[in-house]
Amino acid sequence: MPTTIANAPLRGAALIKDEVTRLPDRPGVYRMIGEDAEVLYVGKARSLKKRVIQYAQGRFHTQRIANMVDLTRSMEFITTRTETDALLLEINLIKQLKPRFNVLLRDDKSFPEIVIRREHAAAQLRKHRGAHSIKGDYFGPFASAGAVNRTLNTLQKAFLLRSCSDSVYDSRTRPCMLHQIRRCAAPCTGLISLPDYNALVDEAGDFLRGKSRAVMGKIAGEMQAASDAMEFERAARLRDRIRALASIAQEQQINPETVDEADVFALHAEGGQACVQVFFFRAGQNWGNRAYFPKLGGMGVDKSDEDALVMEAFLGQFYDDKPIPKLILTNVEPAERDLLAEAFTQKGGRKVEINRPQRGEKRQLVEHALINAREALGRKMAESSAQTKLLAGVCEAFGLDAPPERIEVYDNSHIMGTNAVGGMIVAGPDGFQKSQYRKFNIKGVDITPGDDFGMMKEVLRRRFGRLVKEEEEGAADVVRPDLVLIDGGMGQINAVMEVLADLGVDDIAVVGVAKGPDRDAGLERFFIPGKPYFMLEPKSPVLYYLQRLRDEAHRFAIGTHRAKRSNEMLKNPLDEIDGVGPGRKRALLHAFGSARGVSRASVDDLLKVDGVSQPLAERIYGFFRKG
């Protein structure tokens, strides 16, 4: 059970020394907590008593650890059955609490995968993110949406598998455009039998499992047989399939012969920053790479032992919610490598190895990843330097007390007041922070369609109303902007200031960005409450930066509006009828071809559909005639 010292008169090393007297000699996880219940650090130990007492002794401390100990006001402890359990719990708590002094993995989005969905008689090929809740075969991870989309495109050319939804499939009466351009075998209309289609599905699965040579050899044999039988059109189609499969190998550039399934990690640290480059290899194929820039929690990363700690923390958080391969290759051996491998083995249900290769092809893969990490960190540091100068320029242009760490930019989008949405983007020293973007569906019933002022007031009221509530509740992760940019002039600014005044928020800088005459870029006017508007030099880098912020907010708001409008257009009226679930909806669309066909059907016609009872038929009939 956790034990807590609340409102302790002791602090720092003295508090920790007092706490040690009550600690067991057992594995567990400890939390160091500062003022206002801020979690400073989460750690694990084979023996809580022996590990925690080191903080009180003051020996071998880096300045980072000394600062952490000095800020400690209380501690919490959780005992575990084994050290492995402690490691897994530590990883989970770090990702959940994001302590200031821990190494933190940022930009931790799930990776896209390819799934062959087998819930339907004719399997579907599609992209997937998240939990494996769909019955089927999963292949991945791919480093980016672009990588998985290119592979999907090639697989459609090579194996002609359907990508349409079940409802579209069941309602088809003739082949779609994908069949016309040779991307689908059209099992929906019987142009290929289900056994033959399933053979294509099996071939696609074999290819993604690494049996590419066998699959291509089989297709080549079929092509030769078709050619010998003078079936030249079929031979040409088989030739195109082989070319499509060969293009995957050509695009991937790196296809190791000795590595079937592995993730390759390379850490490069410089100037107090670090980059970890990750390459994914599955089925002997390179499925892309991605660069990460972990938050180091005050670590300078100028010693090999700190590199090892960073790699351990990074790997633990990276695989917290991702499938773990059987082999992990690194350029830096993580601290407590064996314990980490044991935890991964326990979590993944199969043996996992973590190696730092010394020779051969595996070492070449790690060195290639290291080159990419070094180059990515160089680009990042150059961008950060330029970003720092720009933020200093923004500070000077708007008369702020300090360069802003967090800028929030707001814009609205609608068409004649319909499908109205508000968008918020966030930028700071690290550039655009896309994980912090937010969209706001305009809900106010008293807002006149097209009332931009009213929409902006609703968005700001919801955003800052939540901020005020979180601050009043003492939430530890409240995020306040240093600067708010509004797309608009003095009218929008007055509306925003009215909202902020009502909420009692008076310490956040607000600036309006209005397009110049004839909406010319470079002639923007800037509005600050209580001051006359002003303009910046047309060739000023700061002006260009502010234009980028404004354009990004506009792009995000427009994209959100279009997505909402598309969803409205695709919404099926059958979804609104009580008692019509996915199965009955599919049966109705199959029987009548479309929702419009269902709307024209009589009660007797509806009763002929499997699963439609007399009350449901009357409900459907009445729904389309309620006017």
Do 523 and 467 share a structural domain?
Answer: yes
H or E stretch covering 222: helix 212-228
The residue-averaged pLDDT of 362-372 equals 92
Output the average pLDDT for the chain: 84
Answer yes or no: is 402 within a domain: no
Residue at a domain's end among 205, 229, 252: 252
Q: Which of 185, 134, 180, 140 is nearest to 162 (CA)?
A: 185
Domain membership of residue 580 as a residue range:
573-623
Cβ pair 497, 461 in contact under 8 A: no
The answer to whether residue 390 is domain-embedded is no
Based on the domain organization, do 63 and 40 belong to the same domain? Answer: yes
pLDDT digits (tens, 9 = 90+) for 461-497: 989 998 888 888 766 677 889 999 998 888 889 989 9
Write out pLDDT tens, residues 124-153.
988 888 778 888 889 878 887 777 887 888
Domain end marker among 70, 97, 124: 97
Mean pLDDT computed over 555-577: 72
The CATH number covering residue 332 comes to 3.30.420
Q: Sign of the C-alpha dihedral, residues 333, 335, 338, 342?
A: negative
Let me know whether 288 and 248 are in one domain: no
Query: Quick one: pLDDT at residue 566?
Result: 63
Residue 388 belongs to some domain of the structure: no
Residue 1 pLDDT exceeds 50: no
**pLDDT tens, residue by residue, 383-440:** 788 888 999 999 999 999 899 999 999 988 765 545 678 889 999 888 888 888 988 8
Q: Are residues 227 and 174 in the same domain?
A: yes
**Least confident span in 272-281, 358-367, 375-384:** 375-384
Same domain flag for 227 and 271: no
More confidently predicted of 531 and 249: 531
Same-domain status, 69 and 183? no
Q: Within this chain, do residues 564 and 424 fall inside the same structural domain, yes or no? A: yes
> Is 544 found in the same domain as 433?
yes
pLDDT grade, residue 93 (50/70/90)? very high
Tokens representing residue 106 in the block: 């940022």
Task: Find, among 198, 109, 136, the residue nearest to 434 by Cα.
Answer: 109
Is residue 133 located within the same domain as residue 277?
no
> CA-to-CA distance for 579 and 573, rounded, in angstroms?
13
Q: Are residues 563 and 421 in the same domain?
A: yes
pTM of the model: 0.68
Can you give the CATH number for the domain in which 607 is found?
1.10.150.20
Cα distance between residue 343 and residue 89, in whole Å = 11
CATH number of the domain where residue 464 is located: 3.30.420.340
- 563 vs 92: CA distance, rounded Å: 34
pLDDT at 565 over 70: no
* Model confidence pLDDT, tens digit, residues 238-264: 787 777 776 665 545 555 667 788 999
For residue 138, is it within any domain? yes
Among residues 221, 252, 283, which one ends one of the domains? Answer: 252
Residue 83 lies in a domain: yes
Does residue 606 form part of some domain?
yes
423 and 552 in a common domain: yes
pLDDT score, position 78: 93
Count of domains observed in the chain: 5
CATH number of domain containing 9:
3.40.1440.10
Q: What is the pLDDT of residue 626?
A: 66
Give burial (CB, 10 Å; 0-12/13-18/19+) of 61: middle
pLDDT, tens only, 572-604? 677 778 888 878 888 887 788 777 788 888 988
Label residue 520 by pLDDT band (50, 70, 90).
low
- Burial of 453 from C-beta contacts in 10 A (0-12 / 13-18 / 19+): middle
pLDDT at 522: 63
**Domain presence at residue 56:** yes
CA 90 – CA 103 distance, rounded (Å)? 12
Tokens coding 592: 């009548």
Residue 102 placed within a domain: no
Whether residues 533 and 474 fall in one domain: yes
